[in-house]
Amino acid sequence: MIGFVLPLLFVLFWSCKAATYDGKLRNASDGTMEAYMIPHFKSSHASFIEPSPNGDLVMAWFSGSAEGESDVAIVVSRLPNGTDQWTSPIVVSQRKGYSNQNPVLFFDNQTNILYLFHTQQDAKKVGDTGLNGEDSATIWELQSTNNGMNWTSPKIMFAKAGSFDRNRIVISLKNTWLYPIYYAGGSRKDTSYIKESVSHKPFDTWLEHSFTDSDHLVQPTVVRPVKNSTRLVSFFRDRRAEHIYRAVSLTDGVTWTKPSKTTLPNNNSGIEATTLQSGHIAIVYNPTNKERNPIVISVSMDEGLTWAHTRPLDHETGFNGIELSYPTVFQDSQGRIHISYTYNRETIKHKILPNEAWISQRHD
């Protein structure tokens, strides 16, 4: 009888969880709001949120049967301004024989175009682990002129094999795009770069600025701590699963210091940082060297040298293997902090913190 009851309880547990995957924002017990996105396919991962000028939020992620498979698509959902309901996701990029990953959304105020960039690699072959496919990755581009409701067909933008993105584009003081990317090496060492677009046209020439000594450091997340300053700070995922690394540019992203270890651990999983209205830096990450659980937010008042406050965002217990990973984060004009992250590869979770002060509040 016990052998029958335990599987049944497991099914009931996940059925209850699945019942909340409706895209509706609800108040949570910790003083935040949260929503579990409506899954389009079986697996969901690597979300990205971008605000639109009209107040809508647009979210993209990749979804399919499993990461690396031929059916993995980029999907997009919207949270219309003033509502608490995310729309059902739509497929905007899918290509047979290839697997899509890592959408990056970017609204360009100069052209009033919402861009979606994402990677695309050869799909897994029989017996393949999926890791070798990163060597073949290229970066593709789509556009929307109506806040993510409709999209152009995807076009290849960076054809160099191994091209990968993950984190937010920053505008330079010269009004150019600074797009952090990395080249996945497979058997080679991964290295990170800044791609700079002077013209605001994705298919014009891009300048390329390398991060000094960035071997094994990928998915740079770049922030500008002080407005109108040429000083930028970048944080990196560590392929060796040791530490989050940090580098500084005094030249608005053209040259960088050698990356150095921060006090924050890294598990060879995605991170993202943002500059808050206070000028402090917030970063979302897994505070471990192994598991992708729990997920936390930390705040630094000295540009990432030390981290004054850390608060858990999510920590699932009871079943081994649950994943909370690959966050994106930004602060809206009302001071609320929006975070989204992978929830057990089943869906994406959107969490809204009421303000920065929430991070330093006492919690049990």
> Would you say residue 11 lies in a domain?
no
pLDDT band of residue 132 (cuts 50, 70, 90) is low
> Would you say residue 7 lies in a domain?
no
pLDDT band of residue 126 (cuts 50, 70, 90) is low
pLDDT at 321 over 80: no
pLDDT band of residue 1 (cuts 50, 70, 90) is very low
> Would you say residue 131 lies in a domain?
yes
> Would you say residue 6 lies in a domain?
no
> Would you say residue 14 lies in a domain?
no
> Would you say residue 287 lies in a domain?
yes
Rounded to 5 degrees, what are φ and ψ at 337? -110, 120
Model pLDDT, residue 128: 64
pLDDT band of residue 125 (cuts 50, 70, 90) is confident
Q: CA separation (Å) from 317 to 25, 30, 289, 340, 351? A: 23, 17, 18, 19, 19
Q: Around Cβ 288, how many Cβ atoms within 10 Å?
A: 16
Identify the domain containing residue 304 by its residue range: 25-359
Number of structural domains in the chain: 1
Q: Give the pLDDT confidence of 154-181 residue by residue, as tens digits.
A: 999 999 999 999 999 999 999 999 999 9
Model pLDDT, residue 267: 97
Instruction: Look at residues 85, 69, 197, 226 and name the one whose alpha carbon lies nearest to residue 133.
Output: 69
**Residue type, position 330, single letter:** F
> Would you say residue 20 lies in a domain?
no
Which alpha helices (DSSP H) does 204-329 contain, by range?
Answer: none
Mean pLDDT of 182-206: 89
**Helices and strands: H and E segment counts in the chain:** 2, 26
Q: In whole angstroms, what is the distance from residue 113 CA to residue 242 CA?
A: 38
Q: In whole angstroms, what is the distance from residue 50 CA to residue 32 CA?
A: 19
pLDDT band of residue 363 (cuts 50, 70, 90) is confident
Q: Residue 72 belongs to a domain with what CATH number?
A: 2.120.10.10
Q: Give the pLDDT confidence of 24-63 residue by residue, as tens digits.
A: 999 999 999 999 999 999 999 999 999 999 999 999 999 9
The answer to whether the CB of 158 falls within 8 A of the CB of 164 is: no
Q: In whole angstroms, what is the distance from residue 333 CA to residue 335 CA?
A: 5
What is the enclosing helix (H) or strand (E) of 360? helix 357-360
